[in-house]
Amino acid sequence: MNINVISRYLGIALLANSIFMFLSAGVSAINGFDSAFVPLVISGIITFAAGIFPMIFVRDNHAPSIKEGFIIIILAWFLSCIFAMLPYLMWGGEYTLVNAFFESVSGLTTTGATILTDVEALPKGLLFWRSSTHFIGGLGIVVFILLVLPEMSSVRFKLSKMEASEVSREDFKFRSKDKVYVILSVYMILVIANTLALWIAGMSFFDAVNHAFSTVATGGFSTKNASIAAYDSLAIELICEFFMIISAIHFGMLYMLIFNRSLRIFRSPVVRYYLMTIFVATVAISLNLVASGTYSSFPEALRQAFFNVASVISTTGFATVDTSVWPAFSIMILIFLLFQCGCSGSTTGGIKSDRMWIFFCGVKKQLKQLLYPNAVVTVKVGGSVVNSSVLFPVVLFIALYLFIAFVSTLLLTLCNMDLTEAFSGTVTMMSNAGPGFGSISSVSNYNHIPTMGKVIFSIDMLLGRVELYPLLLLVSGIFSRK
Protein backbone atom coordinates (compact mmCIF):
# COMPACT_ATOMS: atom_id res chain seq x y z
CA MET A 1 0.00 0.00 0.00
CA ASN A 2 1.50 3.32 -1.14
CA ILE A 3 0.95 5.86 1.66
CA ASN A 4 2.38 8.68 -0.48
CA VAL A 5 -0.19 8.18 -3.23
CA ILE A 6 -3.04 8.01 -0.73
CA SER A 7 -1.93 11.14 1.14
CA ARG A 8 -1.72 13.23 -2.05
CA TYR A 9 -5.30 12.45 -3.03
CA LEU A 10 -6.51 13.07 0.51
CA GLY A 11 -4.80 16.45 0.33
CA ILE A 12 -6.90 17.35 -2.71
CA ALA A 13 -10.10 16.56 -0.79
CA LEU A 14 -9.05 18.78 2.12
CA LEU A 15 -8.07 21.65 -0.18
CA ALA A 16 -11.58 21.58 -1.68
CA ASN A 17 -13.04 21.92 1.81
CA SER A 18 -10.70 24.80 2.71
CA ILE A 19 -11.72 26.80 -0.36
CA PHE A 20 -15.36 26.79 0.72
CA MET A 21 -14.40 27.65 4.29
CA PHE A 22 -12.69 30.79 3.00
CA LEU A 23 -15.70 31.57 0.79
CA SER A 24 -17.94 31.21 3.84
CA ALA A 25 -15.62 33.55 5.75
CA GLY A 26 -16.13 36.01 2.89
CA VAL A 27 -19.89 35.77 3.42
CA SER A 28 -19.29 36.52 7.11
CA ALA A 29 -17.21 39.56 6.18
CA ILE A 30 -19.91 40.87 3.83
CA ASN A 31 -22.42 40.55 6.66
CA GLY A 32 -20.44 42.72 9.05
CA PHE A 33 -17.84 40.18 10.13
CA ASP A 34 -20.38 38.11 12.04
CA SER A 35 -19.46 35.67 14.82
CA ALA A 36 -18.61 32.89 12.34
CA PHE A 37 -15.79 34.85 10.65
CA VAL A 38 -12.94 33.89 12.98
CA PRO A 39 -13.96 30.21 13.30
CA LEU A 40 -14.21 29.92 9.51
CA VAL A 41 -10.86 31.62 8.84
CA ILE A 42 -9.02 29.53 11.43
CA SER A 43 -10.71 26.33 10.20
CA GLY A 44 -9.82 27.24 6.61
CA ILE A 45 -6.17 27.80 7.48
CA ILE A 46 -5.92 24.51 9.39
CA THR A 47 -7.65 22.55 6.62
CA PHE A 48 -5.61 24.24 3.87
CA ALA A 49 -2.36 23.48 5.69
CA ALA A 50 -3.34 19.84 6.16
CA GLY A 51 -4.25 19.57 2.48
CA ILE A 52 -1.29 21.41 0.96
CA PHE A 53 1.37 19.60 3.01
CA PRO A 54 1.25 16.27 1.11
CA MET A 55 0.89 18.14 -2.20
CA ILE A 56 4.20 19.95 -1.61
CA PHE A 57 6.32 17.46 0.29
CA VAL A 58 5.11 14.11 -1.03
CA ARG A 59 6.56 13.21 -4.42
CA ASP A 60 4.67 10.30 -5.89
CA ASN A 61 2.50 10.58 -8.99
CA HIS A 62 1.75 6.88 -9.40
CA ALA A 63 -1.88 5.98 -10.03
CA PRO A 64 -3.49 4.20 -7.07
CA SER A 65 -4.28 0.50 -7.13
CA ILE A 66 -7.80 -0.84 -6.65
CA LYS A 67 -7.18 -1.32 -2.91
CA GLU A 68 -5.70 2.14 -2.56
CA GLY A 69 -8.63 3.57 -4.47
CA PHE A 70 -11.07 2.14 -1.93
CA ILE A 71 -8.99 3.47 0.95
CA ILE A 72 -8.77 6.92 -0.63
CA ILE A 73 -12.54 7.10 -1.10
CA ILE A 74 -13.32 6.16 2.50
CA LEU A 75 -10.59 8.25 4.12
CA ALA A 76 -11.43 11.26 1.96
CA TRP A 77 -15.02 11.20 3.20
CA PHE A 78 -13.98 10.59 6.81
CA LEU A 79 -11.26 13.27 6.91
CA SER A 80 -13.52 15.75 5.16
CA CYS A 81 -16.15 15.16 7.85
CA ILE A 82 -13.54 15.65 10.60
CA PHE A 83 -12.24 18.94 9.18
CA ALA A 84 -15.73 20.13 8.15
CA MET A 85 -16.84 20.10 11.78
CA LEU A 86 -14.11 22.56 12.86
CA PRO A 87 -16.18 25.72 12.13
CA TYR A 88 -19.07 24.29 14.15
CA LEU A 89 -16.87 23.38 17.11
CA MET A 90 -15.12 26.75 17.16
CA TRP A 91 -18.40 28.63 16.91
CA GLY A 92 -19.94 26.69 19.81
CA GLY A 93 -23.62 26.95 20.65
CA GLU A 94 -25.37 23.59 20.32
CA TYR A 95 -22.34 22.12 18.59
CA THR A 96 -20.75 19.68 21.00
CA LEU A 97 -18.11 17.31 19.57
CA VAL A 98 -20.63 14.63 18.60
CA ASN A 99 -23.21 17.17 17.39
CA ALA A 100 -20.62 18.91 15.21
CA PHE A 101 -19.49 15.61 13.70
CA PHE A 102 -23.10 14.57 13.06
CA GLU A 103 -23.83 17.89 11.34
CA SER A 104 -20.71 17.72 9.15
CA VAL A 105 -21.41 14.10 8.13
CA SER A 106 -25.02 15.02 7.41
CA GLY A 107 -23.92 17.93 5.23
CA LEU A 108 -21.20 16.17 3.24
CA THR A 109 -23.26 13.03 2.67
CA THR A 110 -26.13 15.31 1.54
CA THR A 111 -28.44 13.82 4.16
CA GLY A 112 -29.69 17.10 5.58
CA ALA A 113 -30.51 15.94 9.11
CA THR A 114 -29.67 18.53 11.75
CA ILE A 115 -29.14 18.75 15.50
CA LEU A 116 -30.08 22.44 15.55
CA THR A 117 -33.20 23.50 17.40
CA ASP A 118 -32.94 27.03 15.98
CA VAL A 119 -31.32 27.19 12.54
CA GLU A 120 -32.07 30.88 12.19
CA ALA A 121 -29.85 31.68 15.20
CA LEU A 122 -26.75 30.81 13.15
CA PRO A 123 -24.74 33.66 11.60
CA LYS A 124 -24.91 33.83 7.81
CA GLY A 125 -21.31 32.75 7.37
CA LEU A 126 -21.98 29.49 9.19
CA LEU A 127 -25.28 28.99 7.35
CA PHE A 128 -23.39 29.33 4.07
CA TRP A 129 -20.72 26.86 5.21
CA ARG A 130 -23.47 24.45 6.24
CA SER A 131 -25.01 24.63 2.76
CA SER A 132 -21.56 24.47 1.15
CA THR A 133 -21.00 21.04 2.65
CA HIS A 134 -23.97 19.91 0.54
CA PHE A 135 -22.37 21.45 -2.55
CA ILE A 136 -19.05 19.69 -1.85
CA GLY A 137 -20.69 16.38 -0.99
CA GLY A 138 -23.03 16.47 -3.97
CA LEU A 139 -20.13 16.91 -6.37
CA GLY A 140 -17.89 14.53 -4.46
CA ILE A 141 -20.03 11.46 -4.72
CA VAL A 142 -20.35 11.79 -8.49
CA VAL A 143 -16.90 13.10 -9.38
CA PHE A 144 -14.48 11.80 -6.78
CA ILE A 145 -13.83 8.33 -8.20
CA LEU A 146 -12.98 9.90 -11.55
CA LEU A 147 -10.49 12.22 -9.84
CA VAL A 148 -8.98 9.44 -7.76
CA LEU A 149 -8.61 7.06 -10.71
CA PRO A 150 -7.70 9.36 -13.61
CA GLU A 151 -6.34 6.94 -16.18
CA MET A 152 -7.00 3.49 -14.76
CA SER A 153 -9.93 2.30 -16.82
CA SER A 154 -9.79 -1.27 -15.47
CA VAL A 155 -9.90 -0.08 -11.86
CA ARG A 156 -12.67 2.39 -12.62
CA PHE A 157 -14.61 -0.42 -14.30
CA LYS A 158 -14.34 -2.64 -11.23
CA LEU A 159 -15.54 0.12 -8.95
CA SER A 160 -18.37 1.11 -11.25
CA LYS A 161 -19.63 -2.49 -11.25
CA MET A 162 -20.85 -1.77 -7.73
CA GLU A 163 -23.32 0.69 -9.22
CA ALA A 164 -26.60 -0.97 -10.15
CA SER A 165 -25.97 -1.77 -13.82
CA GLU A 166 -25.37 -0.19 -17.17
CA VAL A 167 -29.12 0.10 -17.79
CA SER A 168 -29.39 3.71 -16.63
CA ARG A 169 -26.18 4.64 -18.43
CA GLU A 170 -27.07 3.12 -21.78
CA ASP A 171 -26.37 5.46 -24.70
CA PHE A 172 -25.00 8.06 -22.30
CA LYS A 173 -21.37 6.93 -22.17
CA PHE A 174 -18.57 9.46 -22.29
CA ARG A 175 -14.83 9.23 -22.53
CA SER A 176 -13.22 9.23 -19.10
CA LYS A 177 -11.57 12.61 -19.59
CA ASP A 178 -14.94 14.17 -20.46
CA LYS A 179 -16.90 12.83 -17.49
CA VAL A 180 -15.75 15.41 -14.98
CA TYR A 181 -16.64 18.20 -17.41
CA VAL A 182 -20.06 16.65 -18.02
CA ILE A 183 -20.86 16.40 -14.32
CA LEU A 184 -19.48 19.81 -13.39
CA SER A 185 -21.29 21.57 -16.22
CA VAL A 186 -24.66 19.97 -15.44
CA TYR A 187 -24.22 20.55 -11.71
CA MET A 188 -23.36 24.23 -12.10
CA ILE A 189 -26.14 24.88 -14.62
CA LEU A 190 -28.69 23.37 -12.25
CA VAL A 191 -27.37 25.36 -9.28
CA ILE A 192 -27.39 28.67 -11.19
CA ALA A 193 -30.82 28.05 -12.73
CA ASN A 194 -32.27 27.00 -9.38
CA THR A 195 -30.80 30.05 -7.63
CA LEU A 196 -32.22 32.48 -10.18
CA ALA A 197 -35.64 30.80 -10.17
CA LEU A 198 -35.93 30.91 -6.38
CA TRP A 199 -34.70 34.51 -6.29
CA ILE A 200 -37.30 35.58 -8.86
CA ALA A 201 -39.99 33.66 -6.93
CA GLY A 202 -39.40 35.76 -3.84
CA MET A 203 -36.50 34.35 -1.84
CA SER A 204 -33.65 36.62 -0.82
CA PHE A 205 -30.53 36.03 -2.91
CA PHE A 206 -28.73 34.53 0.10
CA ASP A 207 -31.57 32.09 0.79
CA ALA A 208 -31.85 31.24 -2.90
CA VAL A 209 -28.16 30.29 -3.14
CA ASN A 210 -28.32 28.19 0.02
CA HIS A 211 -31.46 26.35 -1.04
CA ALA A 212 -30.07 25.78 -4.54
CA PHE A 213 -26.97 24.17 -3.01
CA SER A 214 -29.27 21.92 -0.97
CA THR A 215 -31.70 21.11 -3.78
CA VAL A 216 -29.27 20.15 -6.55
CA ALA A 217 -27.18 18.14 -4.08
CA THR A 218 -30.47 16.57 -2.88
CA GLY A 219 -29.39 17.51 0.64
CA GLY A 220 -32.08 19.39 2.55
CA PHE A 221 -30.37 21.95 4.79
CA SER A 222 -32.44 25.13 4.95
CA THR A 223 -31.82 28.60 6.33
CA LYS A 224 -35.26 28.50 7.98
CA ASN A 225 -36.51 26.51 10.96
CA ALA A 226 -39.69 25.61 9.08
CA SER A 227 -37.77 24.69 5.90
CA ILE A 228 -39.69 25.49 2.68
CA ALA A 229 -42.92 25.87 4.67
CA ALA A 230 -41.55 29.17 6.01
CA TYR A 231 -42.13 30.82 2.62
CA ASP A 232 -45.72 29.58 2.15
CA SER A 233 -45.29 30.03 -1.60
CA LEU A 234 -46.67 27.70 -4.25
CA ALA A 235 -44.20 29.10 -6.79
CA ILE A 236 -41.20 28.29 -4.58
CA GLU A 237 -42.58 24.82 -3.91
CA LEU A 238 -43.02 24.12 -7.64
CA ILE A 239 -39.48 25.29 -8.38
CA CYS A 240 -38.09 23.07 -5.63
CA GLU A 241 -40.14 20.12 -6.87
CA PHE A 242 -38.83 20.50 -10.41
CA PHE A 243 -35.18 20.72 -9.39
CA MET A 244 -35.46 17.97 -6.76
CA ILE A 245 -36.88 15.56 -9.32
CA ILE A 246 -34.39 16.26 -12.12
CA SER A 247 -31.41 16.35 -9.73
CA ALA A 248 -32.17 12.72 -8.88
CA ILE A 249 -31.73 11.65 -12.52
CA HIS A 250 -28.42 10.44 -13.98
CA PHE A 251 -26.26 13.47 -14.76
CA GLY A 252 -25.09 11.97 -18.05
CA MET A 253 -28.69 11.86 -19.22
CA LEU A 254 -29.25 15.45 -18.13
CA TYR A 255 -26.14 16.49 -20.06
CA MET A 256 -27.53 14.95 -23.25
CA LEU A 257 -30.86 16.68 -22.64
CA ILE A 258 -29.35 20.12 -21.93
CA PHE A 259 -26.46 20.28 -24.40
CA ASN A 260 -27.51 17.89 -27.17
CA ARG A 261 -31.23 18.54 -26.86
CA SER A 262 -31.70 14.80 -26.95
CA LEU A 263 -34.96 13.33 -25.68
CA ARG A 264 -33.45 9.85 -25.33
CA ILE A 265 -33.63 10.34 -21.58
CA PHE A 266 -37.36 9.66 -21.76
CA ARG A 267 -36.72 6.35 -23.55
CA SER A 268 -34.79 5.07 -20.55
CA PRO A 269 -36.94 2.47 -18.76
CA VAL A 270 -35.38 3.45 -15.43
CA VAL A 271 -36.28 7.13 -15.84
CA ARG A 272 -39.81 6.20 -16.91
CA TYR A 273 -40.11 3.93 -13.88
CA TYR A 274 -38.76 6.68 -11.60
CA LEU A 275 -41.22 9.27 -12.94
CA MET A 276 -44.11 6.80 -12.86
CA THR A 277 -43.31 6.01 -9.23
CA ILE A 278 -43.59 9.72 -8.40
CA PHE A 279 -46.92 9.98 -10.24
CA VAL A 280 -48.49 6.89 -8.66
CA ALA A 281 -47.25 7.74 -5.16
CA THR A 282 -48.53 11.31 -5.43
CA VAL A 283 -52.00 10.27 -6.60
CA ALA A 284 -52.29 7.47 -4.02
CA ILE A 285 -51.22 9.70 -1.11
CA SER A 286 -53.45 12.56 -2.28
CA LEU A 287 -56.52 10.33 -2.36
CA ASN A 288 -55.63 8.84 1.02
CA LEU A 289 -55.18 12.28 2.60
CA VAL A 290 -58.61 13.38 1.39
CA ALA A 291 -60.31 10.10 2.31
CA SER A 292 -58.85 10.18 5.82
CA GLY A 293 -59.94 13.78 6.37
CA THR A 294 -56.36 15.03 6.75
CA TYR A 295 -57.16 17.64 4.11
CA SER A 296 -60.64 18.72 3.11
CA SER A 297 -59.81 19.62 -0.50
CA PHE A 298 -58.06 17.53 -3.14
CA PRO A 299 -55.95 20.45 -4.50
CA GLU A 300 -54.38 21.04 -1.06
CA ALA A 301 -53.82 17.31 -0.58
CA LEU A 302 -52.22 17.12 -4.03
CA ARG A 303 -49.99 20.10 -3.27
CA GLN A 304 -48.66 18.58 -0.05
CA ALA A 305 -48.43 15.04 -1.42
CA PHE A 306 -46.49 16.03 -4.56
CA PHE A 307 -43.97 18.16 -2.68
CA ASN A 308 -43.24 15.55 -0.04
CA VAL A 309 -43.09 12.68 -2.52
CA ALA A 310 -40.56 14.64 -4.59
CA SER A 311 -38.63 15.54 -1.44
CA VAL A 312 -38.47 11.94 -0.19
CA ILE A 313 -37.74 10.09 -3.44
CA SER A 314 -35.00 12.57 -4.34
CA THR A 315 -33.65 12.26 -0.76
CA THR A 316 -33.65 16.05 -0.43
CA GLY A 317 -35.68 16.18 2.76
CA PHE A 318 -37.27 19.62 2.47
CA ALA A 319 -40.50 19.93 4.43
CA THR A 320 -43.81 21.75 4.09
CA VAL A 321 -45.80 19.77 6.68
CA ASP A 322 -45.28 17.14 9.38
CA THR A 323 -45.71 13.92 7.40
CA SER A 324 -45.52 11.79 10.57
CA VAL A 325 -49.15 12.72 11.35
CA TRP A 326 -50.35 11.46 7.97
CA PRO A 327 -52.33 8.19 7.72
CA ALA A 328 -50.35 4.94 7.96
CA PHE A 329 -51.01 4.16 4.27
CA SER A 330 -49.34 7.41 3.17
CA ILE A 331 -46.44 6.91 5.57
CA MET A 332 -45.81 3.39 4.22
CA ILE A 333 -45.61 4.75 0.68
CA LEU A 334 -43.08 7.35 1.82
CA ILE A 335 -41.04 4.62 3.54
CA PHE A 336 -40.96 2.64 0.28
CA LEU A 337 -39.74 5.77 -1.50
CA LEU A 338 -37.05 6.17 1.17
CA PHE A 339 -35.75 2.72 0.26
CA GLN A 340 -35.93 3.22 -3.50
CA CYS A 341 -34.89 6.88 -4.03
CA GLY A 342 -33.56 8.32 -7.31
CA CYS A 343 -31.31 7.09 -10.11
CA SER A 344 -27.68 6.01 -10.26
CA GLY A 345 -25.26 8.69 -11.41
CA SER A 346 -27.04 11.36 -9.38
CA THR A 347 -26.50 12.67 -5.85
CA THR A 348 -29.26 10.56 -4.28
CA GLY A 349 -28.72 7.70 -1.86
CA GLY A 350 -30.77 4.59 -1.13
CA ILE A 351 -31.12 1.40 -3.11
CA LYS A 352 -31.74 3.45 -6.29
CA SER A 353 -34.50 3.20 -8.88
CA ASP A 354 -32.12 1.31 -11.20
CA ARG A 355 -31.74 -1.59 -8.81
CA MET A 356 -35.45 -1.69 -8.00
CA TRP A 357 -36.35 -1.77 -11.69
CA ILE A 358 -33.86 -4.56 -12.39
CA PHE A 359 -35.16 -6.45 -9.35
CA PHE A 360 -38.75 -6.27 -10.62
CA CYS A 361 -37.59 -7.37 -14.07
CA GLY A 362 -35.86 -10.33 -12.44
CA VAL A 363 -39.09 -11.25 -10.66
CA LYS A 364 -40.93 -11.01 -13.98
CA LYS A 365 -38.38 -13.32 -15.58
CA GLN A 366 -38.68 -15.85 -12.76
CA LEU A 367 -42.49 -15.89 -12.98
CA LYS A 368 -42.29 -16.55 -16.74
CA GLN A 369 -39.80 -19.33 -16.10
CA LEU A 370 -42.21 -20.95 -13.64
CA LEU A 371 -45.06 -20.77 -16.15
CA TYR A 372 -42.94 -22.07 -19.03
CA PRO A 373 -40.21 -24.25 -17.47
CA ASN A 374 -38.87 -25.52 -20.81
CA ALA A 375 -38.78 -22.13 -22.50
CA VAL A 376 -35.75 -19.89 -22.79
CA VAL A 377 -37.00 -16.72 -21.13
CA THR A 378 -35.19 -13.49 -21.93
CA VAL A 379 -36.05 -10.19 -20.29
CA LYS A 380 -34.52 -7.02 -21.67
CA VAL A 381 -34.31 -3.63 -20.05
CA GLY A 382 -33.51 -0.85 -22.47
CA GLY A 383 -31.69 -3.26 -24.76
CA SER A 384 -29.72 -4.92 -21.94
CA VAL A 385 -30.46 -8.55 -21.11
CA VAL A 386 -31.29 -9.12 -17.45
CA ASN A 387 -29.31 -12.28 -16.73
CA SER A 388 -27.82 -13.67 -13.55
CA SER A 389 -24.66 -11.57 -13.89
CA VAL A 390 -26.84 -8.44 -13.78
CA LEU A 391 -29.46 -9.61 -11.30
CA PHE A 392 -27.26 -11.24 -8.65
CA PRO A 393 -25.29 -8.09 -7.65
CA VAL A 394 -28.57 -6.17 -7.43
CA VAL A 395 -30.26 -8.76 -5.21
CA LEU A 396 -27.10 -9.03 -3.09
CA PHE A 397 -26.96 -5.25 -2.60
CA ILE A 398 -30.64 -5.06 -1.61
CA ALA A 399 -30.22 -7.95 0.84
CA LEU A 400 -27.10 -6.36 2.35
CA TYR A 401 -28.87 -3.01 2.58
CA LEU A 402 -31.82 -4.53 4.45
CA PHE A 403 -29.53 -6.54 6.74
CA ILE A 404 -27.50 -3.48 7.74
CA ALA A 405 -30.74 -1.54 8.29
CA PHE A 406 -31.94 -4.31 10.62
CA VAL A 407 -28.67 -4.38 12.59
CA SER A 408 -28.60 -0.59 12.88
CA THR A 409 -32.21 -0.49 14.08
CA LEU A 410 -31.43 -3.20 16.63
CA LEU A 411 -28.46 -1.25 18.00
CA LEU A 412 -30.48 1.96 18.19
CA THR A 413 -33.17 0.30 20.28
CA LEU A 414 -30.42 -0.44 22.82
CA CYS A 415 -29.92 3.34 23.04
CA ASN A 416 -33.45 3.66 24.47
CA MET A 417 -34.88 4.83 21.16
CA ASP A 418 -38.38 3.67 20.24
CA LEU A 419 -38.91 1.52 17.17
CA THR A 420 -40.34 4.34 15.04
CA GLU A 421 -37.31 6.54 15.69
CA ALA A 422 -34.83 3.71 15.28
CA PHE A 423 -36.26 2.19 12.08
CA SER A 424 -37.26 5.35 10.22
CA GLY A 425 -34.04 7.04 11.33
CA THR A 426 -31.93 4.18 10.01
CA VAL A 427 -33.69 4.10 6.65
CA THR A 428 -33.53 7.86 6.16
CA MET A 429 -29.84 7.95 7.21
CA MET A 430 -28.81 5.11 4.89
CA SER A 431 -30.77 6.74 2.09
CA ASN A 432 -29.24 10.16 2.90
CA ALA A 433 -32.74 11.63 3.01
CA GLY A 434 -32.80 13.47 6.37
CA PRO A 435 -36.13 13.48 8.22
CA GLY A 436 -37.77 10.33 9.53
CA PHE A 437 -41.01 9.86 11.44
CA GLY A 438 -42.10 10.38 15.03
CA SER A 439 -39.82 12.66 17.05
CA ILE A 440 -37.37 12.95 14.11
CA SER A 441 -39.99 14.03 11.59
CA SER A 442 -39.68 16.64 8.88
CA VAL A 443 -40.50 19.44 11.35
CA SER A 444 -38.21 18.21 14.13
CA ASN A 445 -34.46 17.59 14.60
CA TYR A 446 -31.95 15.09 15.98
CA ASN A 447 -30.74 17.09 18.97
CA HIS A 448 -32.48 14.83 21.49
CA ILE A 449 -31.04 11.60 20.08
CA PRO A 450 -28.60 9.88 22.51
CA THR A 451 -24.89 10.34 21.82
CA MET A 452 -24.36 6.74 20.72
CA GLY A 453 -27.44 7.00 18.51
CA LYS A 454 -25.89 9.97 16.71
CA VAL A 455 -22.68 7.99 16.20
CA ILE A 456 -24.62 5.06 14.71
CA PHE A 457 -26.60 7.43 12.49
CA SER A 458 -23.33 9.01 11.31
CA ILE A 459 -22.02 5.58 10.29
CA ASP A 460 -25.32 4.87 8.51
CA MET A 461 -24.98 8.12 6.54
CA LEU A 462 -21.44 7.26 5.43
CA LEU A 463 -22.47 3.72 4.52
CA GLY A 464 -25.31 5.04 2.39
CA ARG A 465 -23.17 7.64 0.66
CA VAL A 466 -20.36 5.25 -0.38
CA GLU A 467 -22.87 2.51 -1.30
CA LEU A 468 -21.96 0.10 1.50
CA TYR A 469 -19.09 -1.89 -0.02
CA PRO A 470 -16.03 0.41 0.31
CA LEU A 471 -16.61 1.08 4.01
CA LEU A 472 -17.38 -2.58 4.73
CA LEU A 473 -14.21 -3.65 2.92
CA LEU A 474 -12.14 -1.24 4.97
CA VAL A 475 -13.70 -2.35 8.26
CA SER A 476 -13.31 -6.04 7.42
CA GLY A 477 -9.55 -5.61 7.04
CA ILE A 478 -9.58 -7.07 3.56
CA PHE A 479 -6.82 -4.70 2.49
CA SER A 480 -4.33 -6.47 4.72
CA ARG A 481 -4.61 -9.56 2.57
CA LYS A 482 -2.65 -10.10 -0.59
Distance CA 72, CA 82 (A): 15
Instruction: Please tell me the distance from the alpha carbon of residue 377 to that of residue 394, in angstroms, as a whole number.
Output: 19
294 is known to lie in a ligand binding site: no
SS3 state of residue 24? helix
- Name the residue among 162, 185, 160 with its Cα closest to residue 173: 160
SS3 381: strand
DSSP strands (E only) in 287-398: 380-381, 384-385
47 is in an annotated binding site: no
* Contact indicator for 170, 268 with CB cutoff of 8 Å: yes
- Give dist(CA 315, CA 469) in Å, integer: 20
| Cβ proximity of 358 and 390 under 8 Å | yes
- The number of C-alpha atoms within 13 Å of 204 and in the hemisphere containing its C-beta is 8
- Write the DSSP symbol of residue 62: P
**In contact, 312 and 338? CB cutoff 8 Å:** yes
445 forms beta bridges with: none
3-class DSSP state of 48: helix
The answer to whether the CB of 165 falls within 8 A of the CB of 356 is no
Q: How far apart are CA 217 and CA 214, in angstroms?
A: 5
117 assigned ligand-binding residue: no
Q: How far apart are CA 151 and CA 69, in angstroms?
A: 12
Question: Which helix (H) or strand (E) is 142 found in, with range?
Answer: helix 124-148
Q: Confirm whether residue 315 is marked as ligand binding.
A: yes
d(CA 465, CA 392): 21
The residues pairing with 385 across neighbouring beta strands, listed in sequence order, are 380
Rounded to the nearest 5°, which phi and psi values hold at 76? -65, -45
CA distance between the termini of the chain: 10
What is the rounded distance in angstroms from the CA atom of residue 430 to the CA atom of residue 465? 7
**What span, in angstroms and rounded, lies between the C-alpha atoms of 74 and 108?**
13
Flag whether 323 is marked binding.
Answer: no
Burial of 232 (0-12, 13-18, 19+ CB in 10 A): exposed
Q: Where are the beta strands (DSSP E) in 334-467?
A: 380-381, 384-385
Query: Alpha-carbon distance 296 to 301, whole Å?
Result: 8
Q: Does 342 show up as a binding residue in the annotation?
A: no
Q: Which residues define the annotated binding site? A: 110-111, 219, 315-316, 432
Q: Which residues define the annotated binding site for K(+)? A: 110-111, 219, 315-316, 432
